Amino acid sequence: MNKYDIIVLGSGPGGYVTAIRASQLGFKTAVVEKENLGGVCLNWGCIPTKALLKSAQVFEYLKHAGDYGLSVKDYDKDFDAVVKRSRGVADGMSKGVQFLMKKNKIDVIEGFGKLKPGKKVDVDGTEYSADHIIIATGARSRELPSLPQDGKKVIGYREAMSLATQPKKMIVVGSGAIGVEFAYFYNSMGTEVTVVEFLPNIVPVEDEDISKQLERSFKKSGINIMTSAEVTKVDTSGNGVKATVKTSKGEEILEADIILSAVGIKTNIENIGLEDVGIVVDKDKILVDKFYKTNIPGYYAIGDVTPGQALAHVASAEGILCVENIKGMHVEALDYGNIPGCTYCSPEIASVGLTEKQAKDKGLDIKVGKFPFSASGKAKASGNPDGFVKVIFDAKYGEWLGCHMIGAGVTDMIAEAVLGRKLETTGHDVLKAVHPHPTMSEAVMEAVAAAYDEVIHL
């Protein structure tokens, strides 16, 4: 009973998707999970944060009802109810994964799994074996020495999603996706928010134009932004917390009720038996080949524990490729240059491919086009004129090098650029593909037209 074809360690969006695909391919499959099916993404990340952000968006609509010719009186927020709704959405999704496990006849082994030599996994004293073991243990909030988390006054993303009371003042350290999403949520709810970013631009992995636009939008909504700034010390001895922030102008002390540390992630690779098996790790990541084999035959790794982008959709894609390769199917290695990134603050951010700076640094001759949503009929009508679409093409061959968007609903629009790049679509192909009017998505076509000096509505 304890022998399987495939055992997956971890049930996040990498692990559970991997297990389902393995089962579809005829493998006897088990998943080992120490906490909740669905992992961080479904329980403490992607899904519950989107529920919080939707509540914030609805609250924003109520605040600005007058802009739409509507009069709404006596509205307010119930912070506890907002949090409860988010947790309810997460619980529902986790139960959905339980159903999928049963539907696909996947055994769920509850407990902490530890790898053993000889293609075995020990789960709290019981040993299981498999022909193939796939590590998908994910990651958690990273702690800085200068910013130790106590779970009360200095918190990570988990606590930020389930606070008992809404803080009046919050400092968000780090302006990646997690940082800016929570900054938007708490600011919308009425918390006074300051974002502290070590690098010169917020959302520093994005195209510089995107970063500047988000900073403008955030400042307009009342969020305080401090860039090229570093939290060097925190004092939690009083009622709230004091943060010493080092800037080019010197040191400044900020006071708040809570600090949210959003400075990245740390992989969950401790005490899972990597050393016992001899699996090679470098810079906190498990080293794998293009089909996710580790240096030890029979052991694989996918998702946040490997060097690729730490994104849920990447982990899922990696897991599917991994088991399809194990099955002997003909599969292409994942193109990490064509992975979309999405940030769900307001305005939303979505991007894929090279930024303008990256393209120039490569010495490429490029065409760049931008189309602002302020010139989009659909954006104006819906009350969302902030933001733009920016596209980058190779001037000689027409290759679509990059696409960067900021605005309402752009996380649902970026797939056009991902598919276009996958199919080696040129700028002229996009121009001749008729886009529906009026839509937000026609801004993609207009941006391409701008790159080729054919723009109509600007």
pLDDT digits (tens, 9 = 90+) for 149-182: 999 999 999 899 989 999 999 999 999 999 999 9
Is 457 a member of any domain?
A: no
304 is in an annotated binding site: yes
Query: Can you tell me the distance from the alpha carbon of 189 to that of 58, in angstroms, rounded to the nearest whole number?
Result: 11
**What tokens appear for 388 in the block?**
């733009």
**CA-only gyration radius of the chain, Å:** 23
Does residue 355 share a domain with residue 403? yes
Contact 108, 37 (CB under 8 A): yes
Does residue 135 share a domain with residue 10? yes
Please report, as a single letter, which amino acid is at residue 117: P
Q: What average pLDDT score do residues 116-145 get?
A: 95
pLDDT digits (tens, 9 = 90+) for 181-191: 999 999 999 99
**What tokens appear for 83 in the block?**
């949090």
264 is in an annotated binding site: yes
Is 146 a member of any domain?
A: no
222 is in an annotated binding site: no
177 is in an annotated binding site: yes
What pLDDT shows up at residue 290?
97
What pLDDT shows up at residue 1?
63
Is 246 a member of any domain?
A: yes
What pLDDT shows up at residue 190?
95
181 is in an annotated binding site: yes
pLDDT digits (tens, 9 = 90+) for 56-85: 999 999 999 999 999 998 999 999 999 999
Question: How many structural domains compose the chain?
Answer: 3
Domain final residue, candidates 277, 303, 336: 336
- Secondary structure (3-state) at 289: coil
pLDDT digits (tens, 9 = 90+) for 385-424: 999 999 999 999 999 999 999 999 999 999 999 999 999 9
Does residue 189 share a domain with residue 70? no
Residue 3 has pLDDT above 90, yes or no: yes
pLDDT digits (tens, 9 = 90+) for 290-315: 999 999 999 999 999 999 999 999 99
pLDDT digits (tens, 9 = 90+) for 247-284: 988 999 999 999 999 998 999 999 999 999 999 999 99
The CB-side HSE value for 257 (13 A sphere, CA atoms) comes to: 13
pLDDT digits (tens, 9 = 90+) for 30-49: 999 998 888 887 888 888 99
Query: Can you tell me the distance from the alpha carbon of 137 to that of 441, in angstroms, rounded to the nearest whole number?
Result: 37
Is 456 a member of any domain?
A: no
Is 63 a member of any domain?
A: yes
The strand pair at 250-256 and 107-110 is best described as: unpaired
209 is in an annotated binding site: no
**Model confidence at 457, in pLDDT bands (50, 70, 90)?**
confident
Contact 155, 179 (CB under 8 A): no
134 is in an annotated binding site: no
Is 148 a member of any domain?
A: no
Does residue 133 share a domain with residue 17? yes
Q: Is the torsion defined by CA of 265, 222, 184, 162 positive or negative? A: positive
71 is in an annotated binding site: no
Does residue 351 share a domain with residue 308? no
Phi/psi region, residue 287 (left: phi>0; alpha: psi -120 to 50; beta: rest), is: beta
Residue 437 is among the residues annotated as catalytic for this protein = yes
Q: Which CATH number belongs to the domain containing residue 356 in this structure? A: 3.30.390.30
Domain final residue, candidates 263, 280, 304: 263
Q: Which CATH number belongs to the domain containing residue 43 in this structure? A: 3.50.50.60
What lies within 8 Å, CB to CB, of 66 at 6+ separation is none
* Closest to 284 (Cα-Cα) out of 263, 305, 260, 312: 305
What pLDDT shows up at residue 455?
87
What lies within 8 Å, CB to CB, of 388 at 6+ separation is 209, 213, 370, 371, 372, 373, 405, 406, 407, 443, 447
Rounded to two decimals, the pTM is: 0.94
Does residue 312 share a domain with residue 330? yes
Query: Can you tell me the distance from the alpha carbon of 145 to that of 165, in angstroms, rounded to the nearest whole number?
Result: 27
Q: Which domain holds residue 187?
A: 154-263
pLDDT digits (tens, 9 = 90+) for 340-366: 999 999 999 999 999 999 999 999 999
Q: What is the DSSP string of 160-216?
A: HTS-SS--SEEEEE--SHHHHHHHHHHHHHT-EEEEE-SSSSSSTTS-HHHHHHHHH
What pLDDT shows up at residue 208?
96
Is 220 a member of any domain?
A: yes
Does residue 42 share a domain with residue 131? yes
Q: Which of 64, 428, 437, 457 is catalytic?
A: 437
What pLDDT shows up at residue 109?
95
